[in-house]
């Protein structure tokens, strides 16, 4: 009989057990099937605001969220309008949405593989075409011909039939779609319709409504029956307006005569007196290209020779005739011999763009509103920037704002209430506001500013105590904010 060691007898069964158990590793070394990652949701975002103006475009992006918590930008989706129509907006396969008409629409992005969709709510509004800020209120015109107003309304200057101030746009009473041009004074408004008729509303203590009375009005009222009004400008309590007629014959020509009414205590009407006028009064016989009014002085460019003229209050040299005194200039006087393209008036300072595009300013300058890097009063035009071409300019109480030909926005003067829009301090010279090159026009109130971009959107900034920014609150804004209406 063969002999075995005790240790061998114990190990043999042990190895057999280990072999049966796979070497003692259990199932740990076997490959497991991974859990599939699936799409859970799609979020659609836009490159700009969900409020767009007609004809504007915006790129939409779809981002998928997956079951493992990861996210990624998605492609190959099916884009569509929820309504199935193209009345309000259209959407390309790339996610580029184009606004087509006023209204609301929802854009959807669908993954056909997973049958999961995301959506983007869009509001399309009519583009803004014109703005006028004055005092603590703003009135603006849309492409659909409707007029909207907001801000202070203690004298009914918003024209909505009430005396309640508004911090968001309200439609001017009557809901007319025939408005063409508007100008805002201190607490009143004057406007022209497409048929050439003249309308006014608001405060009327000095006859600035031109209706022959001193009674204020909460709604627009037509002044006379003439249909030849073509331009209006409003000061603190006076109005300048142009009537345009065309001669008959083989070589017809247009003549735009100047008319004025309202407060005249500083000679701002230009009729040679200091007497207020309650109805439109013709000023001379010259033909005018344009006029401007603010505070208690007036400016204009005559058609012949494109010469500059000024009149009214001149204690700070704002008329521009080289004299700064308390004596009123009661009739238009020519300012130098240069040719001018446009003029603008602040409370006691003036600005003008010459035909070569260079910018000049004159009048009070304590806050640097002339933009010539100083604070000294100037009684005749001094250059602000002769090397850069300007397309438009406006003056407020102690600040100025302008647009250059390249579409950039610039501001200077007092910034006590954020009216420059640079989020910083006062400036004695023009400072650029942002980097955009899409600005189109500007307007200035006492301590707030409004501006239009090329896409028809409206932006405001500065003081907002009466809701004059129109963005739904009464909080000051030191930088431009959109009026999404």
* Closest CA relative to residue 316, chosen from 268, 270, 366, 354: 366
pLDDT at position 265: 97
* Closest CA relative to residue 297, chosen from 281, 320, 278, 279: 320
Domain architecture of the chain: domains with CATH: 39-125 (2.60.40.1080), 127-285 (2.130.10.30)
pLDDT at position 31: 58
Q: How far is CA 154 from CA 136, 173, 199, 236, in A?
A: 10, 16, 19, 15
pLDDT at position 13: 46
pLDDT at position 305: 97
CA dihedral over 133, 137, 142, 145, signed as positive or negative: negative
In order along its 485 residues, the chain shows pLDDT tens digits of: 444 443 444 444 443 433 444 444 445 555 577 889 999 999 999 998 899 999 999 999 999 999 999 999 999 999 999 999 999 999 999 999 999 999 999 999 999 999 999 999 999 999 999 999 999 999 999 999 999 999 999 999 999 999 999 999 999 999 999 999 999 999 999 999 999 999 999 999 999 999 999 999 999 999 999 999 999 999 999 999 999 999 888 888 999 999 999 999 999 999 999 999 999 999 999 999 999 998 999 999 999 999 999 999 999 999 999 999 989 999 999 999 999 999 999 999 999 999 999 999 999 999 999 999 999 999 999 999 877 899 999 999 999 999 999 999 999 999 999 999 999 999 999 999 999 999 999 999 999 999 999 999 999 999 999 999 999 999 999 999 999 88
């Amino acid at each position: 009989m063969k002999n075995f060691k005790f240790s061998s007898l114990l190990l043999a069964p042990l190895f057999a057990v280990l072999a049966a158990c796979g070497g003692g590793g259990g199932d740990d070394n076997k490959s497991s099937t991974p859990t599939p990652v699936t799409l859970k949701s799609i979020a659609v975002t836009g490159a700009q605001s969900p409020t767009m103006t007609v004809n504007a475009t915006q790129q939409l992006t779809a981002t998928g969220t997956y079951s493992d918590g990861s996210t990624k930008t998605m492609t190959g989706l099916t884009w569509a309008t929820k309504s199935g129509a193209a009345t309000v907006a259209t959407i390309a396969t790339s996610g580029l949405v184009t606004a087509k008409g006023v209204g609301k629409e929802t854009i959807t992005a669908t993954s056909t593989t997973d049958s999961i969709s995301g959506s983007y709510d869009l509001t399309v509004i009519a583009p803004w075409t014109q703005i006028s800020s004055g005092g603590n209120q703003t009135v603006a015109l849309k492409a659909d011909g409707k007029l909207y107003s907001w801000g202070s309304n203690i004298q009914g200057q918003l024209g909505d039939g009430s005396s309640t101030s508004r911090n968001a746009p309200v439609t001017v009473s009557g809901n007319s779609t025939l408005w063409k041009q508007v100008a805002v004074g201190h607490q009143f408004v004057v406007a022209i319709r497409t048929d050439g008729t003249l309308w006014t509303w608001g405060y009327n203590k000095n006859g600035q409504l031109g209706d022959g009375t001193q009674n204020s009005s909460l709604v627009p009222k037509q002044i006379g029956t003439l249909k030849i009004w073509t331009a209006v400008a409003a000061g603190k309590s006076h109005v300048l307006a142009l009537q345009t007629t065309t001669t008959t014959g083989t070589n017809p020509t247009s003549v735009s005569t100047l008319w004025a009414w309202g407060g005249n205590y500083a000679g701002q009407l230009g009729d040679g007196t200091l007497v207020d006028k309650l109805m439109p009064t013709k000023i001379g016989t010259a033909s005018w290209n344009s006029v401007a009014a603010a505070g208690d002085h007036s400016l204009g460019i005559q058609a012949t020779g494109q010469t500059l003229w000024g009149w009214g209050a001149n204690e700070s040299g704002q008329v521009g005739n080289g004299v700064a005194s308390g004596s009123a200039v009661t009739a238009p006087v020519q300012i130098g011999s240069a040719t001018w393209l446009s003029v603008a008036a602040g409370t006691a300072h003036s600005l003008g763009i010459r035909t070569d595009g260079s910018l000049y300013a004159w009048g009070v300058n304590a806050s640097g509103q002339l933009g010539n890097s100083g604070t000294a009063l100037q009684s005749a035009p001094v250059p602000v920037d002769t090397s850069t071409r300007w397309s438009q300019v406006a003056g407020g109480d102690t600040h100025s704002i302008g647009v250059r030909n390249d579409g950039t926005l610039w501001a200077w003067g007092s910034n006590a209430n954020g009216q420059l829009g640079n989020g910083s301090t006062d400036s004695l010279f023009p400072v650029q506001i942002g980097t955009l090159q899409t600005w189109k026009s500007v307007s200035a109130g006492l301590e707030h500013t409004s501006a239009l971009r090329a896409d028809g959107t409206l932006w405001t900034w500065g003081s907002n105590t009466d809701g004059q920014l129109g963005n739904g609150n009464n909080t000051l804004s030191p930088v431009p904010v959109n009026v999404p209406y």
